[in-house]
């Protein structure tokens, strides 16, 4: 079939149009490749709009100022420590750098040496006489916060430090007694009692007498706290009646010890309270010594408050501890009320503070009322919410514990441990006490032994039970 001229022109036009279209596609492809080379090679980003980089230029942060706190705390009767600590929210330079800065700052005032405080951290130590100079120098340093020694504590320790420095007792309060008066009082005690006192026990007696008969003897168990209390009380027997408050099981023990060590105190002079019928108010004249339990003191509270007591001994005084309740138990209130009316008081406890520093508050308040603002100074007060939604103040944690220990030992408390007085203790004594037992008790004991050892046959147990005689005693020990 012949192609006409018109068809040939149309075919040529189509061919040229196809070439032009192909050329345009090639040029578009090359341009797209060039753009792809400029963009990141991540294929995902080819189908998304290009985003601005999220990385912002670094902002120059001004470093937090390095600041720290220093706590001034009494660490011995004649010295105090300066310990650095961190301030919440501020950069802490570190303990070593802080100590170095403190030493350089205070070197112009007076030299110091390092020691470890109660928390195990290092601290600078200075003499108590230089306290004001150190405090003025620290206050000129703008980058530190200063926590001062409480004024009441500092005032008491400064006055008592004169005795520590001089090496002899110097009375500094109206109720304090001089050594001459103490020797005079000790001379009134029976010679058998004075000779029985070990050196550290005699020192405990003198400690209590120097403070006018108001002290807390907190020696470890087995070091003769009872004997020391009896000796101190014996020095003031001519002033009036003595009241001994103790756990119920110790009433007979106290009566025996009083009869043993105070010969001028006859058995008829010692009145034991077991119930309401033993109320001292029913006696024509108040006995020289009354021994009563915590429970009976509460039950006879009114009549006991009406009596005049010259001397009060509270045994196991850690029972008089603070509680988390809104009000204290009635037994504790009874002891506190009676103590408020007595001039001379001796507390005895091998564990004066069981678990919390605040436990000891009542004992200190009995001996030295309204002192030290105890809770604010030595307890870390924290607001805690109960399960019912109510809030209360929690004093369970303590602060400035090293200072508290120095304060108590210088004012009202004396405490010795066995390991420190071991050389003064007599050789260990073993004593066999033979008891007269009922035959029924012996049979019961044998039966219990057989049960423990596994030999609990019915025959042997029956034989034991048949041999019981409730009215017959056996001399076997």
Parse the chain into domains and list their residue ranges. Answer: 5-46, 68-149, 175-424, 432-477
pLDDT value for 477: 37
pLDDT value for 471: 43
Torsion angle, CA of 391/396/400/403, rounded to 10 degrees? Answer: 130
- The C-alpha atoms of residue 472 and residue 468 are separated, in whole angstroms, by 9
CATH topology classification for 68-149: Alpha-Beta Plaits (3.30.70)
Length, in residues, of the chain: 477
pLDDT value for 146: 86
**In terms of Cα–Cα distance, which of 372, 254, 393 is closest to 314?**
254
- Scored b (16 or more CB within 10 A) or e, 99-131 reads bebbeebbeeeeebeeeebbeeebbbbbbbebb
- Residue 133 has, within 13 A of its CA and on its CB side, a CA count of 12
Residues 6+ apart with CB under 8 A from 111: none
- The C-alpha atoms of residue 23 and residue 30 are separated, in whole angstroms, by 11
**In terms of Cα–Cα distance, which of 320, 316, 360 is closest to 339?**
320
- The C-alpha atoms of residue 245 and residue 318 are separated, in whole angstroms, by 12
- The C-alpha atoms of residue 413 and residue 461 are separated, in whole angstroms, by 56
pLDDT value for 180: 93
Angle formed by the axes of helices 225-234 and 199-210, nearest 10°: 50
- What CATH superfamily is the domain 175-424? Tandem AAA-ATPase domain (3.40.50.10810)
pLDDT value for 439: 86
pLDDT value for 297: 92
- Scored b (16 or more CB within 10 A) or e, 145-179 reads eeeebbeebbebbbebbebbeeeebbbeeeebbee
Contact of 253 with 263, CB cutoff 8 Å: no
pLDDT value for 67: 76
pLDDT value for 346: 94
H or E element: which one contains 389? none
pLDDT value for 1: 52
Residues 6+ apart with CB under 8 A from 243: 289, 290, 292, 304, 307, 309, 311, 312, 313, 338, 342
pLDDT value for 63: 40
pLDDT value for 232: 94
pTM: 0.72
pLDDT value for 41: 47
Contact of 70 with 82, CB cutoff 8 Å: yes
With a cut of 50, which residues of the chain have pLDDT below it? Answer: 39-54, 56-65, 461, 468-477
**In terms of Cα–Cα distance, which of 84, 90, 167 is closest to 119?**
84
- Tell me whether domains 68-149 and 175-424 share a fold: no
Q: Are strands 68-76 and 144-147 parallel, antiparallel or unpaired?
A: parallel
Edge-first strand listing for the sheet containing 344-348: 270-272, 289-293, 242-246, 311-315, 344-348, 214-217, 413-414
Contact of 223 with 420, CB cutoff 8 Å: no
- The C-alpha atoms of residue 88 and residue 81 are separated, in whole angstroms, by 22
């Amino acid at each position: 079939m012949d192609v006409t001229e018109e068809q040939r022109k149309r075919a040529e036009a189509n061919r040229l149009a196809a070439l032009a279209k192909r050329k345009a596609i090639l040029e578009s492809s090359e341009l797209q490749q060039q753009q792809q080379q400029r963009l990141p090679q991540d294929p995902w980003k080819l189908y998304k709009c290009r985003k601005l980089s999220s990385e912002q230029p670094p902002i120059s942060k001004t470093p937090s100022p390095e600041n720290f706190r220093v706590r001034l705390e009494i660490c011995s009767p004649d010295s105090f420590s300066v310990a650095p600590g961190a301030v919440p929210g501020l950069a802490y330079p570190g303990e070593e750098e802080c100590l170095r800065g403190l030493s350089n700052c205070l070197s112009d005032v007076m030299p110091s040496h390092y020691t470890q405080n109660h928390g195990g951290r290092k601290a600078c130590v200075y003499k108590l006489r230089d306290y004001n100079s150190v405090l003025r120098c620290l206050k000129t340093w703008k980058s530190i916060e200063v926590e001062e020694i409480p004024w009441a504590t500092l005032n008491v320790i400064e006055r008592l430090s004169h005795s520590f420095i001089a090496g002899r007792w110097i009375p500094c309060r109206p109720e304090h007694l001089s050594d001459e008066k103490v020797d005079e009082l000790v001379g009134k005690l029976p010679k058998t009692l004075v000779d029985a006192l070990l050196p550290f026990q005699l020192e405990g007696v003198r400690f209590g007498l120097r403070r006018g008969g108001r002290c807390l003897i907190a020696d470890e168990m087995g070091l003769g706290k009872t004997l020391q209390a009896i000796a101190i009380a014996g020095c003031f027997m001519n002033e009036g009646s003595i009241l001994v408050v103790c756990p119920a099981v110790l009433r007979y023990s106290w009566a025996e010890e009083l009869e043993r060590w105070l010969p001028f105190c006859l058995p008829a002079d010692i009145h034991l309270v077991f119930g309401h019928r033993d109320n001292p108010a029913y006696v024509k004249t108040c006995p020289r010594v009354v021994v009563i339990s915590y429970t009976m003191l509460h039950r006879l509270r009114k009549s006991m408050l009406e009596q005049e007591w010259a001397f009060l001994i509270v045994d196991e005084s850690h029972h008089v501890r603070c509680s988390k309740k809104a009000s204290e138990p009635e037994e504790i209130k009874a002891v506190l009320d009676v103590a408020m009316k007595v001039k001379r008081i001796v507390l005895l406890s091998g564990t004066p503070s069981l678990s919390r520093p605040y436990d000891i508050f009542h004992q200190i308040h009995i001996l030295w009322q309204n002192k030290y603002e105890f809770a604010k100074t030595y307890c870390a007060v924290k607001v805690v919410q109960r399960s019912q939604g109510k809030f209360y103040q929690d004093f369970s944690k303590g602060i400035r514990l090293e200072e508290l220990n120095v304060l108590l030992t210088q004012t009202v408390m004396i405490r010795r441990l066995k390991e420190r007085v071991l050389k003064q203790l007599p050789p260990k004594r073993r004593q066999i006490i033979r008891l007269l037992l009922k035959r029924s008790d012996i049979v019961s004991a044998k039966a219990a032994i057989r049960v423990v050892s596994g030999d609990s046959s019915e025959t042997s147990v029956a034989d034991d039970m048949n041999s019981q005689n409730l009215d017959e005693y056996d001399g076997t020990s």
